[in-house]
Amino acid sequence: MSAQERIIQTDLRNEMSRSYLEYAMSVIVGRALPDARDGLKPVHRRILYAMYELGLTPDRPFRKCARVVGEVLGKYHPHGDTAVYDALVRMAQDFSMRSPLIDGHGNFGSIDNDPPAAMRYTESRLKPLTTDGLLQDIEAETVDFSDNFDGSQQEPTVLPARLPQLLLNGSSGIAVGMATNIPPHNPTELIAGVIALIHNPEISDRELMRHIPGPDFPTGGQVLGSAGIRDAYLTGKGSITMRGVATIDTIEAPGRPVRDAIIITELPYQTNKAALIERIAEMVNEKRLEGISDIRDESDRDGMRIVIELKRDAYPQVVLNNLYKQTPLQSNFSANMLALVDGEPVLLTLKRSLEVFLDFRIETIERRTRYELRKAEERDHLLQGLLIALGNLDAIIELIRRSADAPRAKQELIDVYGLSEVQSDAILQMQLRRLTALEAEKIEQEHQDLQRRIEDYRDILARRERVLEIIETELEQLQQRFQEPRRTTLLEADGELETIDLIANEKSILLLTQQGYIKRMPVNEFTAQSRGTRGKAGAKTKDDDSVEHFLTCCDHDNILFFSDRGVVYNLPAYRIPAASRNARGVPIVQLLPIPREERITSIVPVSAFSDDEYLVMLTQGGYIKKTALSAFANIRSNGLIAIALSEGDQLRWVRLAKPEDSILIGSRKGMTIHFRASHDDLRPLGRATRGVRAMSLRSGDTLISMDVLPASLTANMTETGDEDEADDAVEVVASPGPWVLVVTAQGLGKRVPVHQFRLQKRAGLGLRAIKFRSKQDELVSLRIVESGDELVMISQRSVIIRQASDAIPQQSRAATGVRVQRLDADDVLAAVALVPPGEEELDETSEDAIASDEPN
């Protein structure tokens, strides 16, 4: 076996490891990751340098992209032409690059992911930012050059960037075992950040964020929250939430009703507009997006405009939130700031990336200064020789004339006058016109100027602060030329959408039956009806079941459920299943961990757990207490103790109140007491306390209702003790309100002016609120109402009626009331609730709603 055919034995594992590492480093260094100094990958750097060599500067005509691609392939980049052309196209797209580096002429693609025209059709040249900010001084020995792939050409290993291009336009790439994804930034902010680093090398990343608050994407949009930005800048990795810009507007078209519409004018970075529209259309067709009737693209050369028309009953903000949640209209940019530093991949923080650029810029200025110093010294050396010749003009002319040839004349000049070879050649090549007095003066002036420049260059190289001053000056010049306003808006809001953001905040009715079935229904299912009518069925209940709790709320409210044992549970309203009027509902034990022996006795909707509101609790035994609402902001899943109860007592009523408000409590036999909720009359207590006596009751009477009167309505009332009821039958004069709505079990009701219920001390007997028509009747509810309020009443057999409070007449405390709901013989009125404020106009109104009263 010959030496050429000899088999070399080696360990396969070692060979695979070595070969793979060589391949991985080749991809990492030579293809996928940008250099932290100029922010460019090799293919981008080669394209820009090839265009510079072709003379495609901003002041020159465009050239075909095919010419550029051919130049790059033939000289520097031995890969496919598609890869080179794709890289060239991207550097010309204003929706891909924050500051495009190439000026494109022709079809270079679009944000709809339309492909660019073939390279034989498109043309290109360099942008002013590229020549001034990346390529300037490249011929002044500022960077190293290396051989190209075949050793026939020299190419720069890095460009002498004057701007932190790595952060300016960002970068993305996938290497072997690692990847980079750096967001683009605003050039003005980057320059301000570099200048701040020059002034204070010890500046922290957080202080730098005052100058560079976040990414600035070329497509604009919004960035939500600062947590992802902070993580990316402090650690090199972070998830930045991007969101498109959308507004809710109304659109009008001839022959069509006015409709709400969502107008999208900006998209998140790297979002395909056509794909987004297609995605939305698919989700609408699949019933995964509700409330959209039409979508169209009205974008033109003036800007982007996507119009999403909504259905008449849609809630625009809810539809928009669902678009954010389910479509690329909101997406995340996973920042991974990986770049090459000294040929090795390094994860960079914000400060470290600027430090690498600044160190490179210092090196570039020093190399440029040394180059200019050398050129100035070489030129001055020549001028010094010419000045010697001018000073000895006659003798040198004579020397040259008597010399046999040029080499001998050159040698004699060196020997006689001590000149160098360069100086001797310059003297021998000097034209006769340089011997005039004017030319001699110019040579002397140029020599003096060069001496000053040489001194200045040496001073720059000797003092670092001079180098930093030059960098700052050049940055400020670039800032003035290429200053741009920020396109992306930074918002403090968190980008994470909760479930509640995807649900309309509609007005709803909650029903809880005696056997524990609960359901939620929209208020607008029940239109306003005339007083005294029967109403509509609100729930399908068993013969032995009846409605026990009934209230109105908004779907975004937190619903506090209070049990007879004094335990409170919390459940968002939208989590209660919506059901039709004829549905029975779901067992509440499926929603809350309520023990079998425990029963819900009061339900309170809460929109916000504010510090200036209190929960007023009243027990069946007549004990009342006031506890701060904020104490119930964090309720455990298995409930929280709300009140301490005596043996045999039960928690029955809970209402929201402020210290300035007053409280009305009614008994089954029609007695009502009215006292203040101030800290003097009812001091705040903790959760695990019992409370104080609320009202004294006559034999056989029990408490039946409680409501809160706002403070603004009690300003002119006087406080008295119990008085004789002889004056109770005084006729009432029409009052502007507010009133106490008094409703009985047999469907009778009236509005009594609040001032007829005098303020008293707590624990008194109170005053009579109504005179019953029959001994079988009893008080069901006391509610504070104002003009324009709407009521929803329900019977034990779940018949619901909705009517305006103004339809119920004003009467005195001693009156018997009028018919407010017509009930079946075996049915009685169970509860009354107010429609939340802000509800839409009544669907049905009629004069019958304010018809003449029935006789008392």
pLDDT of residue 114: 92
pLDDT of residue 528: 57
* Per-domain boundaries in the chain: 25-190, 245-328, 371-481, 505-839
Catalytic residue, from 52, 121, 269, 457: name it.
121
Q: pLDDT at residue 30 above 60?
A: yes
110-124, 425-439, 635-649: least confidently modelled range = 425-439
47-56, 523-532, 596-605: least confidently modelled range = 523-532
Convert the pLDDT of each residue in 168-216 to its tens digit. Answer: 999 998 877 788 999 999 999 999 999 999 999 999 888 999 999 999 9
pLDDT of residue 235: 93
Answer for the pair 805, 741: CB distance below 8 angstroms, yes or no. Answer: yes
Q: List the beta bridge partners of residue 333.
A: 240
Q: List the beta bridge partners of residue 637.
A: none
> Which tokens hold the place of 396?
């040198």
85-99, 115-129, 460-474, 479-493: least confidently modelled range = 479-493
Which residues neighbour 535 within 8 Å (Cβ) at sequence distance 6 or greater?
526, 529, 793, 795, 799, 800, 801, 802, 821
Looking up tokens 């960079």 gives: 348
pLDDT of residue 799: 87
101-105, 464-468, 730-734, 754-758: least confidently modelled range = 730-734
Q: List the beta bridge partners of residue 246.
A: 264
pLDDT of residue 100: 96
Strand-pair category, 222-224 with 489-491: parallel
Q: Distance between CA 431 and CA 723 in Å, rounded?
A: 130
The fold for domain 245-328 equals: Gyrase A; domain 2 (3.30.1360)
Q: Distance between CA 569 and CA 635 in Å, rounded?
A: 7
Q: Distance between CA 29 and CA 21 in Å, rounded?
A: 12
Q: Cα dihedral sign for 689, 694, 696, 700?
A: negative
Convert the pLDDT of each residue in 791-804 to its tens digit. Answer: 888 888 888 888 88
Alpha helices in 128-238 (DSSP H): 128-130, 165-168, 187-199, 205-211, 227-235
> Which tokens hold the place of 225?
């929250």
Q: What is the DSSP string of 552-610?
A: EEETTSEEEEEETTSEEEEEEGGGSPB--TT---EEGGGTS---TT--EEEEEEES---
Q: pLDDT at residue 228 above 50?
A: yes
> Which tokens hold the place of 341?
């530093």
DSSP assignment letter at 8: P
Average pLDDT, rounded, for the chain: 86
C-alpha pair distances (Å), 25 with each of 78, 175, 182, 772: 18, 9, 20, 95
Q: What is the CATH number of domain 505-839?
A: 2.120.10.90
Convert the pLDDT of each residue in 103-148 to its tens digit. Answer: 999 999 999 989 999 999 999 999 999 999 999 999 999 999 999 9
Tell me which residue of 80, 159, 177 sits closest to 119, measured CA to CA. Answer: 80
Please say if 121 is a catalytic residue. Answer: yes
Answer for the pair 44, 77: CB distance below 8 angstroms, yes or no. Answer: no
C-alpha pair distances (Å), 649 with each of 38, 563, 600, 652, 781: 79, 12, 14, 9, 21
Identify the residue with better confidence: 539 or 397: 397
Q: Does domain 25-190 have CATH number 3.90.1200.10?
A: no
Convert the pLDDT of each residue in 667-695 to its tens digit. Answer: 999 999 999 998 888 989 998 898 899 99
Confidence grade of residue 376 (pLDDT, cut at 50, 70, 90): very high
Amino acid at 79: H
* 143-160: burial string, b at 16+ Cβ within 10 Å, e else: beeeebeeeeeebbebbb
Q: Distance between CA 18 and CA 154 in Å, rounded?
A: 29
Q: pLDDT at residue 729 above 80?
A: no
pLDDT of residue 177: 76
Convert the pLDDT of each residue in 842-852 to its tens digit. Answer: 333 333 333 33
Tell me the pTM.
Answer: 0.68
Strand-pair category, 330-336 with 237-243: antiparallel
pLDDT of residue 839: 39
Answer for the pair 69, 87: CB distance below 8 angstroms, yes or no. Answer: no
Convert the pLDDT of each residue in 325-351 to its tens digit. Answer: 999 999 999 999 999 999 889 999 999
Q: Distance between CA 193 and CA 203 in Å, rounded?
A: 10
Confidence grade of residue 722 (pLDDT, cut at 50, 70, 90): very low
pLDDT of residue 370: 95
Architecture in CATH for domain 371-481:
Orthogonal Bundle (1.10)
| Section 306-328 average pLDDT | 89
